[in-house]
Amino acid sequence: MEKESRTIVFASHNAHKTEEMRRICGERFRIVSLADLGCDTDIPENGLTLEENAEAKARWVYERYGMECFADDTGLEVDALGGAPGVHTARFAGPECDARANVDLLLERLRGVSDRRARFRTVIAHMDTSGVLRLFHGTAEGSIAEARRGVAGFGYDPVFVPEGSVLSFAEMGADEKNAISHRGRATAGLITFLQSTLSPLT
C-alpha cells in the first residue's frame, strides 16, 4: 500500500518557485500552491525584513484556510549597493517590473564596480495546523556576474555565481542548484523538521 503524501500549502503564486519547492520536498509531502486552492489574492508584503514578510504570508494563508502552510521571502544582498535590493528584491526596478528589468537595473548599478560580492538569503515561515510558527534560514554566498549567463532558473539566477563555482545558478541543473542554493538550504531545515513530525505509519 502506497504511503499517502502530507498536503502542505506553499503561499506563493510563483509557478517556478512552486516547482522548485516540490522538487526539493520530494514525494512525502504534497506541495500545493495558492493557485491550486483557487486563490488569486496578492498577499501584502509590507514587512521591513524577510522574516516579517515570510511570517505575514504564512499567517495570511493559515487564517483563511486553516491548513498547514509555509511561505518564503528571499532577498539578494549586494555589498557594493549597501545590501540592496534586499527586502525589495522582487520589486527592485519598480512594482510593475519583471525579472528582466530587475536584472537590467542591477547590472547597470554595478557597471564598472569591481566589488561584486553578494548573497541570497531565504527565510521560510512554517505554520502547523495548530498555528505554531517556526522560521528556517538559508544563505548562499557568491558574486554578481558582469552579464547574464545560462537559461535555466528564474529571477536573478543568470547573474548570480555561487561561491566555489564558476557557473551561474542559471547554468546549473536543478538538482545541482538546489543542493547549494539559499532556498534549498532553508527548505532542508524545513524538511528535517517536517520529517521529525511524521508518524511511523506515514
Residues with catalytic function: 73
Torsion 44-47-50-55 (CA) sign: negative
Half-sphere exposure for 124 (CA within 13 Å, toward CB): 26
Half-sphere exposure for 192 (CA within 13 Å, toward CB): 10
| Nearest partner of 10 among 52, 59, 71, judged by Cα | 71
Classified as helix, coil or strand, 152 is: coil
Look at the block and give the residue holding cell 509531502. Answer: 29
**199 Cβ contact partners less than 8 Å away, ≥ 6 residues apart:** none
Distances (CA, A) of 44 to 41, 58, 93, 143: 9, 11, 18, 30
**DSSP tag of 200:** T
